[in-house]
Amino acid sequence: MAKIEDYIPIVGESVVEDLRLIAVHLRGKRILNVNSTAVGGGVAEILNRMVPLLRELGLDVHWDVIKGGEEFFEVTKKFHNALHGGRVDIGEKDFEIFMETSRSNLEQMEISGDIIFIHDPQPIVLVRKRTDNKWIWRCHIDLSEPKKKVWRFLKEFVVQYDAAVFSAPAFSRRLLIRQFLIAPSIDPLSDKNRELPQKVIDGILAKYGVPKDKPIITQISRFDRLKDPVGVIATYRLVKKYIDCRLLLAGGTATDDPEGQKVFEEVLEAAQGDPDIHILAIAQNDLEINALQRASTVIIQKSLKEGFGLTVSEALWKAKPVVASNVGGIPLQVKDKYSGLLCYTPEGAAFAVKQLLSSPDYARQIGENGREHIRNNFLITRHLREYMLLFLSLYHRENIVHL
Ligand code: UDP
């Protein structure tokens, strides 16, 4: 596991020195993170790296996961889709299931700490355990157009927190608590992102039976309709009419996402047995994801909604030309025609992919710009700094700005 000084060659000495200076002010504070899954999805991805690095900086940081059954996670997935603006059928029974599991977590979990850092809606009710400590709600979802019924329900809990954190300005809501804007990040030294020898990359392609004979277009994502895997297949088909290529759709499922299997089957059906479409159901394997991203010619992220889209940062950090939807947190990362190409439809995505495949110099430049954009804005060192400053700010006199 990388040590904090290992980041110096990537971000410079002063950035790491700042982290050490800020951390001193948080010594002695116990910080507890709570979310709903230890593996799968962006939140777990970040916490897996954030927690050990904060500890190395001398902070007393912990991470706990709530428990929930299948019914609970079906409801929270409905919440997730509704908060992303999707039309979802949610009734009283769903709210009851949510509250029942929340009550059992309230009873069973020991929530102790100076700062309690709750991630996303699933554990939101835990705030009922608040004492004289500080509570933060970190929302990773694109809340720009939430369905009112679910947002109204959750807001009752959100307002009991000291502060809320969102990934992009458009996601903030009218709230009487303090709001912070902090974008997620990737760790350049994790197995997911570190440099890999070509031999390793080739070995993983061979393991999955993907030949290197044609350009490879890739989307790495959980099998989730909001990631639009079927739209990616449509994009590939439009490109394939002009340029011979392969499509790689790789993803696993998260323990808090019950829809994965169903969507996986829809994707298999949409592929209609095309031997140039490789649909890989990979277990959580950071090195393999890293290798597949590095083996790709172009990376797509054709999400219909996206809180942030860590996969976009991961691809850009590898200097890959990216074509991604102009939704949620993606335009923070992809500045159109500079650090990637933005798209709206399969036709637009296909046009962009064709452009990149037929102009390798342009694709290389876009990829290099992307890598620098991530270095400057979306690496874990910036994130560590902002989280620590957020923690510290909770102990300072509040200047509440009512939005
Ligand atoms: N990921 C993974 N295996 C998979 C699919 C995704 O490790 O099979 C990772 C991906 O590399 C990224 C994270 O899970 O680090 C997904 O985060 P993102 O913000 O893109 O989407 P989310 O799943 O949180 O909606």
pLDDT at 190: 94
Name the average pLDDT for the chain: 95
Q: What percent of the chain is predicted at pLDDT more than 70?
A: 97
Q: What is the pLDDT of residues 90-100, one digit of tens each?
A: 999 999 999 99
Please state, in angstroms and as integers, the Cα–Cα distance from residue 256 to each residue in 40, 185, 263, following that order: 8, 21, 15
Spatial distance between the Cα atoms of 96 and 119, rounded to a whole number of angstroms: 21
pLDDT at residue number 403: 47
Cα of 312 vs centre of ligand 1, distance in Å, is 10
pLDDT in tens, 255-308: 667 788 899 999 999 999 999 999 998 867 999 999 999 999 999 999 999 989
The CATH architecture one would assign to domain 198-377 is: 3-Layer(aba) Sandwich (3.40)
Residue with CA at minimum distance from ligand 1 atom 11: 311
Looking from the CA of residue 226, the nearest atom of ligand 1 is 25
Question: What are the residue boundaries of the structural domains of the chain, listed by start?
Answer: 4-185+379-402, 198-377
In the DSSP assignment, the letter for residue 66 is -
The pLDDT-based confidence of 248 (bands split at 50, 70, 90) is very high
Classify the phi-psi angles of 150: left when phi > 0, otherwise alpha if psi is within -120 to 50, otherwise beta: alpha
What average pLDDT does this structure show over 372-393? 97
Tens digits of residue pLDDT in 128-152: 999 999 999 999 999 999 999 999 9
Q: Is the pLDDT of residue 253 over 70?
A: no
CA–centroid distance, 311 to ligand 1, in Å, is 6
Distance CA 76, CA 98 (A): 7
Q: What is the pLDDT of residue 110?
A: 96
Overall average pLDDT of the 233-246 stretch: 98
Residue from 110, 334, 353, 347 nearest 219 by CA: 353
The tokens for 23 are: 């951390």
CB 15 within 8 A of CB 22: no
CA angle 61, 44, 156 (to 5 degrees): 80
With a cut of 60, say whether residue 186 has pLDDT above it.
yes
| Topology given in CATH for the domain delimited by 4-185+379-402 | Rossmann fold (3.40.50)
Segment 203-230, tens digit of pLDDT: 999 999 999 999 999 999 999 999 999 9
Q: Is 221 in the pocket of ligand 1 (CB under 6 A)?
A: yes
Question: Which of 80, 221, 302, 320 for a ligand 1 pocket mutation test, highest count of atoms within 8 Å of Cβ?
Answer: 221
User: Which pLDDT score, from 0 to 100, does residue 401 have?
Assistant: 54
pLDDT reading at 245 higher than 80: yes
| 4-185+379-402 and 198-377 in the same fold | yes
